[in-house]
Chain A
């Protein structure tokens, strides 16, 4: 283990552990992983006893240092978006800490780097969205022209939702807009004869928004005994699906009302 200049204060350890757990949750990691990360940071850096309770929306961490005093901290988790690279790096961070390959300062620096890492640039993420939505349209039985429409709409939708999320607009509203935009564009493409089936195209595009992983994780958490996290994730998935359908359903209604053709 590298020699440290000074021993970190218990308060600093607590802050670092809470921040690590918060970043795990913000990157879409499981709640038990956030709890394990916090506990690993604490015990690796000199906590006698650390206990963490995490839900998808917040963390409570209490920590008993070598001086025998109990300290605790609460952190809210306000944004959650899937970031697998961060999850992998955080996992490596807590493993390195545990194995003694990192000291307190090194871990704090590494966490800062992880938080500030930028994702893929615009061309890569647009291509990824286009390829993903086109492939799912084909997988769900769409034709080639459906896939092309899905690629275009998917690239646009991924931009739009990211833009809205960055403006701090609630997920519920983002999903309504996303569902409506996807439905209107696909219906328009069908009307113009670009797509053979608007329905198949919409479902391919909407994979970008739809909470399939969330509902599965909700049940996984519940099976694992993290009941609060499971119910919270279930509610999250339910509201997301509701919002998307309100958007898409509204778009279908508007389309019919305007007399643009049958559903």
Chain B
């Protein structure tokens, strides 16, 4: 049940939060599609290899997707990244880590804390890679355009 419907819930959840973040309704479908794609990649890669690889792949995909949509729609990529990344972002992990330490369970807290940090690190690395890649590519395009005009 989780696999096919999960994409729908990821897309709907991201849409709901995108509207809460004041994203215009016209842009919401783009964020929702990115969220569904990211969630699919996270589940597929996460199952085939490790959780961290799943986070990394999903974040890299969402970053690249957002850069492409951003250049088409003339908006900053962050607008799409923030909403599309929500389903995979380790907010629950942060909560469980602190909840375990509030309850005084040191080992559970350390365990969830480590997993949370690993997830956040993998996502951040994925986003960093995609933004570096897009910068390289668009620099090339800019250079070519300038040459064409001169």
Binding site for B on A (CB under 8 A): 28-30, 33, 82-88, 91-92, 119-120, 124-125, 128-136, 138-141, 158, 203, 206-208, 210-213, 215-220, 223-224, 237-238, 240-242, 244-246, 248-249, 252
Contacts and interface: CB of A to CB of B under 8 A. Distances in A.
Contacts of A219: 120-121, 123-125
Contacts of B124: 216-217, 219-220, 223
A103 B36 CA distance: 41
B95 A135 contact: no
Main DSSP-derived SS at the A contact region: helix
Contact of B94 (A134, A212, A248): A212
Give the top 3 A-B pairs by smallest Cβ distance, nearest first.
Answer: A132-B16, A212-B91, A210-B91
B85 interface: yes
A236 to B, nearest CB: 12
A185 B124 CA distance: 34
B19 A128 contact: yes
A139 B76 contact: no
Nearest to A162: B20
Contacts of B95: 203, 206, 210, 241, 244-245, 248
A159 B89 CA distance: 23
Contacts of B2: 141
B64 interface: no
A140 B128 contact: no
A56 B86 CA distance: 21
Interface in B9-43: 9-10, 12-24, 27, 39
Given A83-B22, A216-B124, A139 B78 contact: no
Contacts, number: 163
A181 B24 CA distance: 30
Given A138-B9, A213-B89, A220-B128, A120 B19 contact: yes
7 contacts: A30-B78, A84-B21, A87-B78, A132-B20, A138-B5, A212-B92, A245-B95
Given A210-B94, A212-B94, A139 B82 contact: no
Nearest to B125: A223
B19 A249 contact: no
B103 interface: yes
Interface string B57-79: 00000000000000000111011
B120 A132 contact: no
B130 to A, nearest CB: 11
A216 B79 contact: no
B124 to A, nearest CB: 4
B13 A136 contact: yes
A246 B102 contact: yes
B22 A220 contact: no
A88 B12 contact: no
B110 interface: no
A132 B13 contact: yes
B2 to A, nearest CB: 7
Contacts of A141: 2
A213 B85 contact: yes
B76 A87 contact: yes
B36 to A, nearest CB: 11
A208 B87 CA distance: 12
Contacts of B103: 249, 252
A140 B92 contact: yes
Contact of A213 (B82, B92, B128): B82
Contact of A91 (B5, B8, B76): B76
Nearest to A246: B102
Contacts of A220: 124, 127-128
B74 to A, nearest CB: 7
